[in-house]
Amino acid sequence: MQDLQHEELTIRVEQEGDTMCLRWQGKSTARTPGTFLLPFFQAVVNEIGERKIHVDNDLTRLQHLNSSTLAAMIGIIRLFRNGDVSMRVLYDPMVGWQERSIDALRILESPTSIVRFEASRGR
Amino acid sequence: MAADKGPRTLTFELNVPFRPRWRNVELLRTSVLNCLATIFESYDFCEQLGMTTAELLENSIGYGMWATDGESPLHLSVCGDETEVRVQVTNPVSAEGEDLSRLIATVRSIEDAESPRAAYAARLLELSSDPTTQGSRLGLLRIAFETGAKLAVEVGDDRKSVRVSATIRAGSTSDPK
């Protein structure tokens, strides 16, 4: 997988054992982020396929995201559910906006969900 | 930003007319954030208002009625004192347009909901269950949920204003420096 670069947003792809780490950096402020995020994450799901690899979607270094990106995140979660690929969304609980954004998205998480939100101090 | 710190009160006001270009959103978000960070102790509080500014501007650029040359100005106002910060964005709009009706309906849904969290959660679940939904319409709901601020819409003379009023809690880390 290639890194994603769009305007002020970079998502670096790193493979660590049985984990694919997607590290968001910069700011996600595009007008229609779903147009490039969803194809990128669909490619991630396709790449993993049947392999027992899980994804860490690491937001801890992200500086800002707009609500259009939060909407795209809902689509990303749907892609992972449909592809039966497990994903952790990592956020920094000491960063107020990250804590609040994820707090809201937790409504999409269920106890048996393959998509989970976890606090992490990545900085 | 003009700030006046008298013996008992602190007031400030920022007024910016600007063009509806997407790149201006982030420029103004960081500008407001940095201006407020010179006044208030809590950086997180300032970030909330920076986010508020960005979401209002994105809505205005996305749903405003712009001249074909794209040169019609938006107007951003950020003002306040020791007890409250108000962020207001004004832009041209079609009084009969669907977008204005949806905007007003969104503000009403926040007022009518059990809480801003409930209104926001309802929309997130709606988006999750229907991937064909056009336009996220999350911006105002996010503002209400993340800041706890009051939202108001004013319409007149082919323009509309959305105003967000965030109260500063006494004794909180949002107190002025």
**Taking CB atoms and an 8 Å cutoff, what residues of chain A touch B51?**
64, 97
Helices marked H in A49-89 — which ranges?
Answer: 67-83
pLDDT at residue B173 above 70?
A: no
pLDDT by residue (tens digit) across B11-35? Answer: 999 999 988 899 999 999 999 999 9
- For an interface test with B, give the residue of A66, A91, A94, A101 to mutate (most B CBs within 10 A): A66
With an 8 Å Cβ cutoff, are A107 and B121 in contact? yes
User: Cα separation of A41 and A47, whole Å?
Assistant: 10
Spatial separation of the C-alpha atoms in residues B107 and B101, rounded to whole Å: 10
State mean pLDDT over B39-50.
Answer: 94
Question: Stretch B114-139: mean pLDDT, rounded?
Answer: 90
- The CATH number linked to A8 is 3.30.750.24
Contacts of A104 in chain B (CB under 8 A): 117, 120-121, 124, 142, 145-146
Position B6 pLDDT exceeds 80: no
Domain B2-167 has CATH 3.40.140.10: no
Q: Does A94 touch chain B (CB under 8 A)?
A: no
For β-strands A9-16 and A4-6, DSSP reports them as antiparallel
The radius of gyration computed from the CA coordinates of chain A, to the nearest angstrom, equals 13
- pLDDT at position B97: 73
Mean pLDDT of all residues in B129-133: 80
What is residue B123's predicted lDDT score, i.e. its pLDDT?
95
Q: How far apart are the first and last CA of chain A?
A: 24
Nearest to B131 among A68, A78, A107 (CB): A78
Residue-wise pLDDT tens digits, B78-121:
999 988 999 999 998 876 777 888 999 999 999 999 999 999 99
Other Cβ atoms within 10 Å of B73 Cβ, number: 13
Q: Which residue has the higher pLDDT, B105 or B4?
A: B105
Task: For A82-116, write each residue's pLDDT tens digit.
Answer: 999 999 999 999 999 999 999 999 999 877 678 99
Residue B169: pLDDT band (50, 70, 90) is low
CA distance B43 to chain A (A): 9
- What pLDDT is attached to residue A40? 98
Task: Kindly identify which residue of chain A lies nearest to residue B49, measuring between CA atoms.
Answer: A97
B120, B136, B145 member nearest A71 (Cβ)? B136
Closest Cα of chain B to A107: distance in Å? 7
- The segments of chain A whose pLDDT lies below 70 read 112, 122-123
Q: Phi, psi at residue A9, to the nearest 5°?
A: -105, 135
Phi/psi of residue A80, nearest 5 degrees:
-70, -40
Q: How many residues does chain B have?
A: 177
Alpha helices in B64-138 (DSSP H): 98-112, 116-129
Can you give the length of chain A in residues? 123
User: Chain A closest CA to B138's CA: distance in Å?
Assistant: 6
Q: What is the mean pLDDT of chain B?
A: 87
Q: How far apart are CA B12 and CA A118, in angstroms?
A: 39
Interface mutation target, options B33, B42, B128, B141, chain A, most CBs of A under 10 Å: B128
What is this structure's pTM? 0.92
Is the alpha carbon torsion for B76, B81, B82, B84 positive or negative? negative
Report whether pLDDT(B68) > 60.
no
pLDDT-derived band of residue B69, with 50, 70 and 90 as boundaries? low
Residue A93 contacts residue A59 (beta carbons within 8 Å): no
Q: Is B175's pLDDT higher than 90?
A: no
Residue numbers of the domain that contains A63: 4-119
Q: Is A78 on the interface with B (CB under 8 A)?
A: yes
pLDDT of residue B82: 84
Q: What ipTM describes this predicted complex?
A: 0.93
pLDDT value at residue B71: 61
Name the token pair of B143. 């503002």
Measured distance CA(A78)–CA(A115) in Å, rounded: 9
- Check A104 against B131: CB less than 8 A apart: no
Tokens 């950020």 sit at which residue?
A: B78
Give yes or no for A110 touching B (CB within 8 A). Answer: no
Segments making up each domain of chain B, as ranges: 2-167
The structural domain count of chain A equals 1
| Tokens, residue B81 | 């004192």
List the single residue in A66, A78, A104 with the smallest CB-CB distance to B145.
A104
A68 and B127 in contact by Cβ < 8 A? no
Q: What is the pLDDT of residue B171?
A: 45
